[in-house]
Structure 1
């Protein structure tokens, strides 16, 4: 990362990026929106973003990191290791996209963590592969999979979707869901209260929307440090104590937390 003159914002950003974190997190969402940075020429680079849900059911932006061109599991390993070094000892669920190698990076960092692919990402990826006039039918078929009460019922719903009419029309959709099976299956074992928290990506998407709004009219940034300062200022309001009420995950978080404690046994009781 390029180092420029120190400013109050730069000092604040450095302190925020290195602050200690809670040891235990029920869930952490990780994603990588893209921005444009000039380094000789203008290039698109991923911004590695980690958002945690703490024991009180409030979200916290754990960090922002600008990576090289092309999102990679190796860089994610570095990011996750930094979170561990800042105090994160255990995470119950890490929700992420289907990047190859990312589940291995997660389990290498937190061996007990359950890796869960974003359900909404699977749905959106499927709709990109389907003709618009068929979206209602595809959505209905996919809903039967991700709302199935058991893994067996989900397998049957997927088998129904792979029947000749749909399976031959959209083989890439079928392949998408089968390829994500290992990281999607844990979702089916969660009780409803945990499913609601995992299924919703409003937390991460609201922050992504804030970042997109911030960067939309800028075209590109002159350096990684300049980008990080602007992005940090964009999310700062989300990580202040006064924002905790509006950043609450769910109205019934205590019910969800009770289910986390039961489902993951005593891992949350080490707080």
Structure 2
């Protein structure tokens, strides 16, 4: 602290700026790093500099070597102390390392926010006056690949009361640049905690066979039973779920169904249509929903037959949640619980234009998942009102919950 105060007083007296190549922050960083390195060498040798009385053994200090390292305040030139026997291995600034802890995290954080390697390079040069190559930035971000691979293969719980499945589209080069779906599965466990269970790149025409390949990943990682799966009307998904978890209830996302309905209708009728559809999906019982749907058909089938056909074809996957009381309906009638995550996915992928391969796309999405925004709700965390919902689930699904 005394050294820091002296530097601050000197900076004030000499008019030294806080930032910049010779700024106070860099001087402070240099002082702190060199002090830490000398403290490490003290411990390694067993005595402090100048304390010859405490010396033991033949090893001793042997000057220092200059080294430039990248830090959170830019490039800093430091003197690294050496020992005569060459056995000193510093931890603060490891041998051969040109970056101190925190600098890599800065690059990874910028990458997760959607910046390209070129934009990160320009940002570091502008803010930190650090010249970092695109190749180095790629190597730093590739450090997360092994971590991502382990995350993708981690064991999962035996039972998930609720799993939500949704998709976003990103551009990936596969010979040509094409739109590819990336499917996201979010589970709510017995404690009410939400977690991203899996992320898979699809082809856009999965069908039941493709979904079996994706969802078998969850099965192989330990998921033996799912009570309710809420999803969009993804082709082949209900069939795949029935094959892997035959007792699971498939609930079609009501919000997606309403949005799909409006695509068939003129905008001037949207308010009237959504008002009538709300009477269907908020009906107190399945029979009341049937009656409301019959009235809806009578008014709109002649004008918009495709919209009515959409609801008829989706009815079996739409109605399950109508058997539940309000606290459980709210939890499963829509996949919008992962909309905030999808919004962050889109923000991180939009500015890139396209990805060179599937791994590059997954790497960015993984970083988004693992780096929640400060002061913002994140997909992971506790589900609001979970205890009441869990009691209701226990009444409907009994021993399948296996609550201890």
Whether the aligned pair in 1 keeps the contact of 2:161 and 2:190 (CA below 8 Å) is yes
| 1:46-195 paired onto structure 2 within 5 Å | 46-163=181-298, 165-195=299-329
The answer to whether residue 365 in structure 2 is matched with residue 235 in structure 1 is no
The answer to whether residue 335 in structure 2 is matched with residue 201 in structure 1 is yes
- Aligned mates of 2:247, 2:282 — CA distance in 1: 25
- Aligned mates of 2:208, 2:148 — CA distance in 1: 25
Whether the aligned pair in 2 keeps the contact of 1:57 and 1:248 (CA below 8 Å) is yes
1:184/1:245 CA distance change after superposition, 3 Å: closer
Whether the aligned pair in 2 keeps the contact of 1:43 and 1:69 (CA below 8 Å) is no
Deviations, residues 111-168 of structure 1 (Å, cap 9, x unaligned): 11001110111110011111111111101110111111111111110100011x3221
Q: Which runs of 5+ in 1 are unaligned?
A: none
For residue 264 of structure 1, what is the aligned residue in structure 2?
A: 397
Q: Which runs of 5+ in 2 are unaligned?
A: 1-137
Whether the aligned pair in 1 keeps the contact of 2:195 and 2:380 (CA below 8 Å) is no
Measure how far apart 1:249 and its partner are.
2.5
For residue 360 of structure 2, what is the aligned residue in structure 1?
A: 226
Whether the aligned pair in 2 keeps the contact of 1:42 and 1:220 (CA below 8 Å) is yes
Q: Determine helix, strand or coil for the equivalent of 1:94.
A: strand
Q: Determine helix, strand or coil for the equivalent of 2:172.
A: strand
Whether the aligned pair in 1 keeps the contact of 2:231 and 2:334 (CA below 8 Å) is no
Whether the aligned pair in 1 keeps the contact of 2:340 and 2:379 (CA below 8 Å) is no
Deviations, residues 79-136 of structure 1 (Å, cap 9, x unaligned): 1111011011111001111223211100111111001110111110011111111111
Whether the aligned pair in 2 keeps the contact of 1:33 and 1:48 (CA below 8 Å) is yes
Deviations, residues 174-211 of structure 1 (Å, cap 9, x unaligned): 11111101111211111211101012433221111111
Q: Determine helix, strand or coil for the equivalent of 1:44.
A: strand
Measure how far apart 1:56 and its partner are.
2.0
* Bigger Rg, which one: 2
| 1:12-27 paired onto structure 2 within 5 Å | 12-27=147-162
1:255/1:11 CA distance change after superposition, 3 Å: same
Measure how far apart 1:24 and its partner are.
0.8
Superposition RMSD in Å:
2.1
Whether the aligned pair in 2 keeps the contact of 1:261 and 1:269 (CA below 8 Å) is no
Whether the aligned pair in 1 keeps the contact of 2:171 and 2:353 (CA below 8 Å) is yes
TM-score (norm. length: structure 1): 0.91
Q: Using CA pairs under 8 Å that are at least 6 residues apart, name the structure with larger relative contact order, 1 or 2.
A: 1
Whether the aligned pair in 1 keeps the contact of 2:206 and 2:236 (CA below 8 Å) is no
Measure how far apart 1:238 and its partner are.
4.9
Whether the aligned pair in 1 keeps the contact of 2:230 and 2:332 (CA below 8 Å) is yes
1:223/1:245 CA distance change after superposition, 3 Å: closer
**Number of equivalenced pairs:** 263
- Aligned mates of 2:149, 2:165 — CA distance in 1: 20
- Aligned mates of 2:350, 2:379 — CA distance in 1: 28
Measure how far apart 1:69 and its partner are.
4.1
